Amino acid sequence: MLQEKTNGYKIILGLSWLLILSLALVNGGYANDDHFTVIELIARYNILPKSTQCWQCYHPKLYHFLVAETWKLLGITTPYYQHISAQLFSAVAGCGTVYLFMRFIRPLQFPETLKLLVFAFFALNPRLIAISGQAANDALIIFLGTVNLYAVLKLFKAPSLKYALIVIVSLVLGSMAKMNFGVFLIATVIVLTVLSVLHRNYSLSLKKGYLGTALLGLLLSAFSFLSFNGYIRDYKENGKLFTYNTPTYELPHLYHLDMVYLPGIRSVYSGYFKFHYFDLIRNPHLSYTGKLRFQHMHSHFSQVYGHFYFLGFDNWPEQWRNDNRVITFIGKVSLAVGIIPTLLLFIGLFLLLKNLFKGWENLKRDESWIYLLYIAGFLGFSVLFSLFGRTFVFMKAIYIFPGLLATVVPFLLGNAVVIKRKAVRTTLYIFYIGLFVLYLVPVVYLIAQLGEML
């Protein structure tokens, strides 16, 4: 039986990797944002561009630099192979993320079948597969965020030179990859500081303590963020570390509806305290025409939910769009039934919150507070991002994916609560198998669609 479960993990891992790599091989350079221009500038001029040289040039540039160096090393000059190589770099990062999810889930103390299905729930997620097939820096920061939390949880069990170094490397590389690395930087410093207080261990040793890892990670990542990305150079020349090229807006009113140029946050209440479940089902796509402004396009969490459960929800990149009725129907069903695992996650989060009130000493034994810290951090970041950006394009599930590993245990807990009765357990397991079919059909259809465009 154990061997069968082991094979199950391998099958799910292999399927996830196959889909990620297949998408990366057939996608013709299409992505949510144009990071390709940044790579081309580095490859052509052998210098990191200033933040004003192109629309995405303000980003930290590790992904772009590594791809550009790969082009030069392998002599890649044709657009086709440049696209493929840039996408394969993201695919490798995506495959690494899925592998770490498997490594994390397997030793957890939950029923084996449930763990297998939960692994599939994350490994086959269409949004994770999609972003891992694009030439963008998102897959890299998701991988580094996953590495960071995985290593921090190892340090929670005991100080370790190996995992201290991994934490530091994840922070340094994260600072060179994307700005939302700041979320897991702050979380790391908080966790390691709290652990030093809990255990009364104030040693700066990387091997035996916590504070040395926090201090060195903070200092090195701050240095790499400012120096590698060219921000010190830009500050000396322009008086600004970087110029954020996307327009931002003033903060919305608490409850009065503001008018925005594009659909988005119109008030704090409507944007963050309304969830348009039925509107999502009726309209399982975003509209870019300006004529159709669906209710869910004004709701942050409606948007995150839609992006997570249906690959075709965002209708972007433009070349990924399709008007296939079967895929649209699958999207409607996916968004309808996605509420079940979402509610189970909330049950698990409630159980974790209860653990916080079991006393100070319990924080030494139970890592629940670490999961909650990372979840709160990335949710808070996504809320702040859309609060200032206001428009619906600032509301994406991928912004919380660097902390997605933190949701595994609460999701398992929520499921474990409801499967105590055999009939419910069987029904839920069948439900997940059906959900995975809904996950996969749009992904396979997209791969076939892009393959025909080659």
344-396 pLDDT, tens digit each: 999 999 999 998 888 778 889 999 999 999 999 999 999 999 999 999 999 99
> Are 192 and 335 contained in the same domain?
no
Residue 389 lies in a domain: yes
CA 297, 144, 409, 354 dihedral sign is: negative
Q: What is the DSSP letter of 403?
A: G
Pair 217, 275 in one domain? no
Residue 425 falls inside a structural domain: no
Alpha-carbon distance 59 to 246, whole Å? 12
More confident residue, 206 or 361: 206
Spatial distance between the Cα atoms of 88 and 24, rounded to a whole number of angstroms: 6
CB contact at 8 A, 347 and 372: no
Residue 59 in contact with residue 180, Cβ under 8 Å?
no
DSSP sequence for 350-386: HHHHHHTTS-TTHHHH-THHHHHHHHHHHHHHHHHHH
Q: How far is CA 336 from CA 59, 276, 408, in A?
A: 36, 11, 22
* Average predicted confidence (pLDDT) for the chain: 94
338-342, long-range: CB < 8 A, 24+ apart: 338/305, 338/308, 338/309, 338/435, 339/277, 340/431, 341/121, 341/411, 341/435, 342/305
Which of 230, 245, 260 is the last residue in one of the domains?
245
pLDDT score recorded for residue 361? 81
Question: What are the tens digits of pLDDT across the range 54-93?
Answer: 989 999 999 999 999 999 999 999 999 999 999 999 999 9
Q: What's the confidence (pLDDT) of residue 415?
A: 98
Whether residues 232 and 368 share a domain: the answer is: no
Residue written as tokens 């394969």? 88
CA 376, 125, 21, 287 torsion: positive or negative? negative
pLDDT of residue 5: 67
Q: Is residue 440 part of a domain?
A: no
Residue 1 in this model has a pLDDT that exceeds 60: no
In a domain, 451, yes or no: no
pLDDT at residue 405, rounded to an integer = 98
75 with 201, same domain: the answer is: no
308 — pLDDT class (breaks 50, 70, 90): very high
Q: Are residues 252 and 381 in the same domain?
A: yes
Tell me, yes or no, whether 239 lies in a domain. Answer: yes
pLDDT digits (tens, 9 = 90+) for 136-191: 999 999 999 999 999 999 999 999 999 999 999 999 999 999 999 999 999 999 99
Q: Given 136, 162, 181, which residue is the final one in a domain? A: 136
Both 197 and 321 in one domain: the answer is: no
Note whether residue 91 is domain-resident: yes
Is 431 contained in some domain?
no
Q: How far apart are CA 160 and CA 206, in angstroms?
A: 7
β-bridge mates for residue 391, sequence order: 264
Partners of 264 in beta bridges: 391
| pLDDT tops 90 at residue 454 | no
Same domain, 263 and 377: yes
Domain identity same for 265 and 388: yes
Residues 20, 105: one domain? Answer: yes
Question: Domain of 39?
Answer: 1-136
The percentage of the chain sitting over the pLDDT mark of 70, rounded to a whole number, equals 98
Overall pTM > 0.85:
yes
Instruction: Choose one of 193, 223, 245: the last residue of a domain.
Output: 245
Number of domains in the chain: 3
Are 345 and 357 contained in the same domain? Answer: yes
Backbone conformation region of residue 235, classed left if phi is above 0, alpha if psi is from -120 to 50, else beta = alpha
Indicate whether 258 and 406 sit together in one domain: yes
- Assess if residue 89 is contained within a domain: yes
88 and 24 Cβ atoms separated by less than 8 Å? yes
Whose structure tokens read 């903060």? 251
Residue 350 half-sphere exposure, CB side, CA atoms within 13 Å? 9
Same-domain check for residues 112 and 32: yes
pLDDT given for residue 261 in this prediction? 65
Alpha carbon distances (Å) from 37 to 42, 67, 83, 218, 454: 9, 12, 11, 31, 21
